[in-house]
Amino acid sequence: MHLQKLVRIVVQFDFLQIENANFFAHILGINKYCTRQIKEVTLLLNEGAMKGVICYYSATGNTKLACLYIVNHAKGVIFDLFNIAKDDGLNLGLYDVVGFAAPTDFMGPPFIVKMFIDGIAVQNDKPAFVISTYGFYSGKTLIIFKDWISKKGFKVIAGHSLHTPENYPPMIVKGMKSEHAPGLKALNKFNDFILELNSLFNSGHIDELAEAKLSIGIMNSLSPVYPRTKARVDMGNKYVDDSLCSECGTCKTVCPYGAIRLDPKPVFNMDKCYGCWSCFNHCPNKAIYTEKIRNKGHYPKPIEKLREKLK
Ligand SMILES: Cc1cc2nc3c(=O)[nH]c(=O)nc-3n(C[C@H](O)[C@H](O)[C@H](O)COP(=O)(O)O)c2cc1C
Ligand code: SF4
Ligand code: SF4
């Protein structure tokens, strides 16, 4: 089918969202080249939309999937994604709204996120929203996250915690995998949150919106806040099975705290280690183990059930 004809249909049906254009292209069986062209056209059609960025950390992909889901369902804002652990050169001046997203890590946002936020220049009430994912019990994560961002001069207009599968190996080996998360209720709440975001984005006065009061429920608000060292102590010493290690360097690449050097097998610096289990989860040969856990409990990427739900 001719590209121009397709573009006309896209316009006619007001298919301003990229995923709709992709879907449309898919059912018509057009090739990837055309899909790319349509993406460009839909981006042009969306020119009047606000620009947003979601700054995320995602050790094993759950949080990134949640961010992509928001990006694909947002109306009135075109989002970029900024990976806190990898990307640099963020220019917040380009954006009308900023999202922050991270997994729960010992009842709080991960330390790498704190380091990132500490390095951001103080803002003047820039609208922001906050997302956390959690595998079992998020505690005060969302409130702590909001607090960090607010102290940097962002105005937090919305926030949400999403229940997702567990990526913490000690819980996985106990059989507490939260494989079915988010359940229908949690997924509906997440969709409601995105609708709420869309109505805020399209209110016409995003700069004048009031700060949100985030509700986390009584049980979460009673939960303790753990010191940074708790995660490291809990994980304990890490070891490498030399017979399995292929010296591929993945563990060093995924360590967000620069706690691994290769010699040529990995050597761990316990002063820098934050006990995040990222090296353990991502080692392609399951060569890394601890005193408590060996050769089981890995979560290298989002499970299929989650990917299906957050398409
Ligand atoms: C070191 C570590 C600590 C965690 N702590 C918590 C926690 O306190 N509460 C909770 O509900 N989930 C906890 N989790 C689970 C993750 O928050 C959850 O699986 C999340 O969706 C992972 O997101 P990601 O794939 O984007 O990294 C923890 C996971 C890890 C690896
Ligand atoms: S990721 Fe695993 S196999 Fe690769 S260097 Fe690290 S321990 Fe060795
Ligand atoms: S050494 Fe492993 S557990 Fe420690 S911070 Fe790095 S990736 Fe996380």
Per-residue pLDDT tens digits of the chain, which is 311 residues long: 344 445 445 544 444 444 455 555 555 545 444 555 555 555 555 567 899 999 999 999 999 999 999 999 999 999 999 999 999 999 999 999 999 999 999 999 999 999 999 999 999 999 999 999 999 999 999 999 999 999 999 999 999 999 999 999 999 999 999 999 999 999 999 999 999 999 999 988 888 888 888 888 888 888 888 887 888 999 999 999 999 999 999 999 999 999 999 999 999 999 999 999 999 999 999 999 999 999 999 999 999 999 999 99
Ligand nearest to the CA of 242: 2
253 CB within 6 A, ligand 2: no
Return d(Cα 305, Cα 267) in angstroms, integer. 35
pLDDT value of position 18: 45
pLDDT value of position 154: 98
Q: Which atom of ligand 2 is nearest to the CA of 260?
A: 6
255 CB within 6 A, ligand 2: no
Each residue of 202-220: b (16+ CB within 10 Å) or e? eeeebeebeebebebeeeb
CA-closest candidate to residue 137, choices 166, 114, 112:
166
pLDDT value of position 2: 47
Two tokens at 10?
């896209």
Mutate which of 56, 63, 104 for ligand 1? The one with the most ligand atoms within 8 Å of its CB, which is 104
Distance 257 CA to ligand 3 centre (A): 7
250 CB within 6 A, ligand 2: yes
Distance 309 CA to ligand 1 centre (A): 19
Two tokens at 153?
């001069």
CA-closest candidate to residue 267, choices 238, 287, 246, 303:
238
Tell me the residue type at 181.
Answer: A
CB 188 within 8 Å of CB 159:
no
- Looking at every residue in the chain, the average pLDDT score rounds to 88
What is each CA distance from 296 to 13, 59, 95, 175, 299, in whole angstroms?
50, 18, 43, 11, 9
CB 136 within 8 Å of CB 105:
no
| Displacement of CA 106 from its chain's centroid (Å) | 16
Return d(Cα 8, Cα 25) in angstroms, integer. 13
**Closest Cα to atom 6 of ligand 3:** 255
CA-closest candidate to residue 154, choices 117, 196, 180:
117
**Backbone CA torsion sign across 94, 100, 102, 107:** positive
Residue span(s) of the chain under CATH 3.30.70.20 come to 229-300
pLDDT value of position 217: 84
201 CB within 6 A, ligand 3: no
Q: What is the 3-state secondary structure of 181-245? A: CCCHHHHHHHHHHHHHHHHHHCCCCHHHCCCCCCCCCHHHHCCCCCCCHHHHHHHCCEEECCCCC
pLDDT value of position 40: 55
pLDDT value of position 15: 41
CATH class as words, domain 229-300:
alpha beta
Residue span(s) of the chain under CATH 3.40.50.360 come to 50-223+305-309
Fold type of domain 50-223+305-309? Rossmann fold (3.40.50)
